[in-house]
Amino acid sequence: MVDRGRQRTQNKQKARRGRSLTKLVGLQLASQAAILATIFATTSRADDTSGGAVSKQELQGKIAYCVTCHGPSGQGFRAFNPIPRLAGQPVQYLKNQLQAFSEHGRSSNIMYNVSHVLSPAMLTALTTSFNELNPKPLGGAPKELVPDGQKIYEEGVPGSNVPPCASCHGPQAKGNEAFPRLAGQLHDYIYNKLTNWSQERGQNPKAPDASAIMEPIAHSLTESQIKAVAAYVSYLE
């Protein structure tokens, strides 16, 4: 009788523990479900915000921020270091470069801070706006270099395996998709980029971009050839 009584007591205790465990698991599952619901709801709201239309006021505010450095109408600006012209650049090229800054494929703390917070909608609106601009070039390059620069741009440098620049950047240097517009670009900016290509591009090997095609070309051009090409394209409109 004693053993049976003890058995019944043990069975009751097991039953109570089972009910408690079931209740605890149920509470945990309910809590996890609530957390997941909150996460999904927050993500959906964030997606709606990033994918929604950008107001004219928001866009103008961002453009005003950009032209502080890149000059009126995105024409470029000569400071301690020349800041490039954005006007007329292909949309895809601008998007690629902003992504490269965001992924540390290009090195610039300022541009990283600018690029990695742009929503997809703002990115499209901003790059489209700059693509539609076409201010006059700033010029300023030595004009005596222009004829040599034109020859290199149109014919390349066969002895150094340098193809014509026009083959990628277009006959009028207006660029195309991933290839940038060179027409009207600051000559000193082009010179700085080509002479320091490996120090400024391809900084994140895990995320290569289309600029990798230019590395052997930049290394094959002499300093005088770079100056000549930069002078030529800087006067193109």
Please state the domain extents for the chain: 1-51, 56-234
pLDDT the model gives residue 82: 95
Percent over 70 (pLDDT), the chain? 77
Better-predicted residue by pLDDT, 236 or 211:
236
165 has a pLDDT exceeding 50: yes
The average pLDDT across 218-226 equals 96
Could you tell me the pLDDT band of residue 187, with boundaries at 50, 70 and 90? very high
Residue of 132, 127, 151 lying closest to 62 (CA atoms): 127
Pairwise CA distance, residues 7 & 4, whole Å: 5
> Is residue 86 within 8 Å of 111, Cβ to Cβ?
no
230 has a pLDDT exceeding 80: yes
37 has a pLDDT exceeding 80: no
Question: Per residue, what are the HEC states of the chain?
Answer: CHHHHHHHHHHHHHHHHHHHHHHHHHHHHHHHHHHHHHHHHHHHHHHHHHHCCCCHHHHHHHHHHHHHHHCHHHCCECCCCCECCCCCCCHHHHHHHHHHHHCCCCCCHHHHHHHCCCCHHHHHHHHHHHHCCCCCCCCCCCHHHHHHHHHHHHHCEHHHCECCCHHHHCCCCCCECCECCCCCCCHHHHHHHHHCHHHHCCCCCCCCCHHHHHHHHHHHCCHHHHHHHHHHHHCCC
Question: Per residue, what are the HEC states of 127-139?
Answer: HHHHHCCCCCCCC
Better-predicted residue by pLDDT, 226 or 25:
226
Could you tell me the pLDDT band of residue 79, with boundaries at 50, 70 and 90? confident
pLDDT in tens, 83-121: 999 999 999 999 999 999 998 888 889 999 999 999 999
pLDDT the model gives residue 224: 98
212 has a pLDDT exceeding 60: yes
The average pLDDT across 164-175 equals 97
34 has a pLDDT exceeding 50: no
Could you tell me the pLDDT band of residue 38, with boundaries at 50, 70 and 90? very low
pLDDT the model gives residue 49: 39
**Could you tell me which CATH number the domain at 56-234 has?**
1.10.760.10
Better-predicted residue by pLDDT, 62 or 46:
62
Determine which of 33-47, 115-129, 180-194, 217-231 has the lowest per-residue pLDDT on average.
33-47
Average pLDDT, the chain: 83
Q: Which two tokens stand for residue 166?
A: 């026009």
pLDDT the model gives residue 23: 46
